[in-house]
């Protein structure tokens, strides 16, 4: 593949290095910060882990694009953000990371409202289910069989619902199949370690 910059790295590699540098700085700040309570510190760590988990699956695109896999197609930017996105929107990698962090916090909170025991689950369960909710939406997540299983206290069955969420526009998508497999693996491994 031809190099796009005169230096040692392509522009894509430079963007990835900038993203990882920003992400590592945020994670470092999380560990240096003194949370007000252990619950806050736990949530902060979960959201940082969720950002690390979600970012590669979503991919970063700093200019808005029309996601045609979605039905109906939807304008999308950064790490899969769709709220308020319009054609022509542009963001920096740091703005994308900030947007992802804020969105994940919101999705985790919405999921915890419909699955009240979520905050007491192992970190991996929370990361996996937050990733899934970010991808499918809180409404779909909260009305799902997965949420029913979790609310019944059957977390193993809840984790095993994840592979069923591998379609977009009614068609199986390999990327979603792979993502759900990773989410399920993390969810189940966390339960075994608990």
Q: Which among 121, 130, 1 has a CA at the least distance from the CA of 55?
A: 130
Calpha distance 131→190 (Å, rounded): 15
- The DSSP-derived string for the chain is ---SSSSSS-HHHHHHHHHHHHHHHHHHHHHHS--SSHHHHHHHHHHHHHHHHHHHHH--EEEEEEESSSSS-EEEEETTB-TT--TT-B--HHHHHHHHHHHHHHHHHHHHHHSTTGGGS-HHHHHHHHHHHHHH-HHHHHTSHHHHHHHTT-HHHHHTTGGG--EETTEE-HHHHHHHHHHHHHHHHHHHH-
Does the active-site annotation cover 67? Answer: yes
Q: Among this protein's residues, is 98 annotated catalytic?
A: no
Q: Which of 60, 67, 81, 161 is catalytic?
A: 67
Q: Which of 13, 15, 58, 161 is catalytic?
A: 58
Kindly list the catalytic residues.
58, 67
């Amino acid at each position: 593949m031809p190099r796009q910059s005169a230096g040692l790295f392509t522009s894509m590699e430079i963007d990835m290095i900038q993203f990882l540098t920003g992400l590592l700085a945020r994670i470092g700040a999380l560990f240096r910060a003194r949370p007000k309570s252990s619950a806050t510190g736990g949530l902060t760590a979960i959201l940082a882990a969720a950002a690390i988990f979600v970012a590669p699956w979503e991919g970063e695109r700093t200019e808005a694009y029309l996601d045609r896999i979605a039905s109906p197609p939807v304008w999308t930017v950064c790490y899969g953000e769709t709220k308020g996105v319009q054609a022509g929107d542009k963001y920096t990698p740091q703005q994308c990371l900030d947007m992802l962090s804020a969105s994940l916090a919101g999705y985790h909170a919405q999921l915890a409202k419909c699955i009240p025991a979520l905050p007491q689950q192992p970190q991996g369960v929370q990361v996996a289910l937050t990733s899934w909710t970010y991808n499918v939406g809180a409404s779909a997540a909260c009305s799902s069989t997965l949420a029913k299983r979790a609310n019944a206290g059957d977390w193993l069955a809840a984790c095993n619902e994840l592979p069923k969420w591998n379609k977009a526009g009614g068609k199986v998508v390999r990327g979603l199949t792979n993502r759900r497999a990773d989410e399920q693996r993390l969810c189940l491994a966390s339960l075994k370690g608990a």
